[in-house]
Structure formats: C-alpha cells, structure tokens
C-alpha cells in the first residue's frame, strides 16, 4: 500500500475546501507545505455544519453573534475536517502570537525606541512574572537620560502575550491616539516600546519620567477566536500603594471588536477625563457617574 504524506493530504483538503467556498467570502492566505510555494486561501467565513437543523434561523442568528464554535456539526463522533483544520490554524496563530518576535522594521517605521524588561527570553517571561514588570538596568538608564520628563501622558507599547496584536493594531491606533491627545492640548512624552513587558512596568516608567498619567497598549493573551486582541491600561500617578482597581482598562481592541482607529479616539477622551478628575480605575468610574 502506498504511504500517504500527511502534509500533502492536508494541503489537498485545504485546496478542496477553498474551491468550495464562496468567491465573495473573506479570505486569508495560508501557506502550503514545504513542497509548495503557492499560498492556499482558507475561508474565514462561518459555515453551518449541522445538517437539517430543526431551527435554522435561530442557529444562524446565534452563530452570527459569537466567535465560539457552534453549529459546526460533526462527522460521527468527531468534528468535520473543515472545522478541525480551522481549529488547528487558530491554535497555531495563537501560539505564534506569543512566541514570535515583533518586526523591528515596524518599530522603526513608528519611531519607537526599544526598551527591555529583566526577562532575558520568552521562557523567563512566561515563568517569572516579576521579570516582565521591571525594566532592565540598561533601559532604566536610557529612559532616565532620554525620556521626556513631566508630560501629561506617557504612552507605552508592549508586545505582552501577543506580538500579532501590536502588528495588527498599533499602526492605526497610535496615530489616532496621539492626534486625539494633541487636539485636547494634552502633552505627551515620546512613546516607547517595551519588549517582553507586563502591565505593571508602566508604574516604573511613570516614576522615571514623572508623567501625570501613563497608558500601556499591550497584546492580550491570544485565544482561538483571535490572536490580535489588544488592551489599554491607564493609571493616574501610580505609586507603591497602587492596586489593580486603580487602573482603567479597555480591552478587545481588534478588527472584530473595537477597531483600532476608533479605540485611539476613545482612549484620548478617556485620558482627558483621567487628567481632569486626577483619578483612574474605580475612583474615576465613581466620579464620572455623579
């Protein structure tokens, strides 16, 4: 019996699935195996996999309102091939989002200085939370000498747990945020990029540049719905007594959630409130509701 190469088999299945998809469906390129240099386009649109559903209209409505894998049907006791391959693609995207390095070309294009935390590598970053919450000694010295001091807002961009989120959102979000702050006459320090950073590193940065408020734009932990979701953490004058409820958080920034340009405008408005009320987190929410 002829032995079948698994990579070739998967590629053939992907090609057949792509042929079956609607020509108007939204598609993303998926690179074929090493034996082929031609990209395969795997459709992102949802397809109902349940044969003869009892209430098709209700199922279609539910599928349109959530990225969860519902209505995918089954083949015997297993999920169908198309659903299984989409699951593996999403799983691979999530893994890559955590482990890959961000392209330095993008950082140069955005003009972001690169700082490092005490995490020597991704393994240490994942296993030792504290290592991502403090800048390396070299980065501290750089920020002390070159950081813009005494500004209203300091912007920090960090890969966090998803470089994909930074690459997908920051090119649109950062200019929109900077423009929104400038229109409100809010002074900003030069934005910086922190490699392998966690949210709390913003406290140390704020203490060095002496800003009034700091915002961290950081990649979220990727899931199987998207690997490109980004969060914004803002805090007014953090100190050693800062707790998590002192931070204002806006999450789910990505093309399927809050679009990055819209998010940039909203974050500028929110930072304006933080400066006006001189508060963030739970305290800010309470003051704004009065």
Same domain, 252 and 125: yes
Q: Which of 76, 99, 122 is the last residue of a domain?
A: 99
Q: Which of 99, 116, 133 is the last residue of a domain?
A: 99
Residue 62 contacts by C-beta under 8 Å, 6 or more apart in sequence?
70, 71
Task: Give the range of the structural domain holding residue 63, as residue numbers without chain letter.
Answer: 6-99
Q: Which residues are annotated as a binding site for adenosylcob(III)alamin?
A: 199, 220
Same domain, 169 and 195: yes
Which pTM value belongs to this model? Answer: 0.71
Q: Which of 56, 82, 99 is the last residue of a domain?
A: 99
Same domain, 58 and 140: no
In a domain, 1, yes or no: no
Same domain, 122 and 78: no
Same domain, 120 and 261: yes
The number of folded domains in the chain is 2
Report how far Cα 26 is from the mean position of its chain's Cα atoms: 21
Same domain, 112 and 237: yes
Same domain, 13 and 75: yes
Q: Which residues are annotated as a binding site?
A: 199, 220
What string of pLDDT tens digits covers the 290 residues of the chain?
A: 455 455 565 566 556 555 555 444 444 454 444 444 455 444 556 677 777 788 888 877 887 776 666 777 777 787 777 776 666 666 565 555 455 677 778 888 888 999 999 998 888 887 888 999 999 999 999 999 999 999 999 999 998 878 888 988 999 999 999 999 999 999 999 999 999 899 999 999 999 999 999 999 998 866 545 678 899 999 999 998 999 999 999 999 998 889 999 999 999 999 999 999 999 999 999 999 88
What CATH number is given to the structural domain containing 189? 3.40.50.11240
What CATH number is given to the structural domain containing 69? 1.10.30.40
């Amino acid at each position: 019996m002829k032995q079948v190469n698994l990579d070739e088999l998967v590629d053939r299945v992907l090609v057949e699935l792509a042929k079956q998809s609607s020509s108007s469906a939204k598609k993303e390129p998926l690179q074929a195996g090493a034996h082929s240099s031609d990209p395969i386009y795997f459709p992102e649109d949802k397809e109902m996999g349940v044969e003869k559903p009892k209430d098709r209209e209700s199922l279609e409505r539910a599928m349109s309102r959530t990225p969860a894998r519902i209505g995918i049907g089954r083949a015997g006791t297993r999920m169908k091939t198309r659903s299984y391959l989409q699951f593996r693609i999403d799983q691979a995207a999530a893994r890559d989002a955590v482990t890959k390095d961000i392209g330095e070309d993008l950082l140069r294009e955005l003009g972001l200085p690169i700082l490092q935390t005490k995490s020597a590598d991704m393994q240490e970053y994942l296993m030792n939370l504290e290592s991502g919450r403090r800048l390396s000694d070299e980065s501290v010295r750089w920020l002390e000498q070159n950081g813009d001091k005494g500004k209203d807002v300091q912007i920090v961009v960090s890969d966090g747990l998803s470089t994909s989120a930074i690459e997908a959102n920051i090119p649109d979000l950062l200019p929109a945020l900077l423009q929104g702050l400038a229109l409100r006459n809010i002074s900003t320090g030069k934005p910086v990029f922190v490699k392998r950073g966690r949210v709390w590193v913003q406290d140390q940065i704020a203490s060095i540049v002496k800003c009034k408020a700091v915002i961290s734009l950081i990649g979220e932990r990727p899931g199987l719905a998207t690997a490109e979701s980004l969060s914004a953490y803002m805090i007014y004058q953090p100190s050693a007594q800062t707790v998590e409820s002192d931070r204002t958080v806006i999450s789910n920034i990505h093309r399927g959630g809050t679009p990055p340009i819209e998010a940039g405008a909203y974050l500028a408005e929110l930072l304006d409130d933080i400066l006006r009320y001189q508060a963030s987190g739970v305290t800010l929410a309470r003051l704004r509701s009065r």
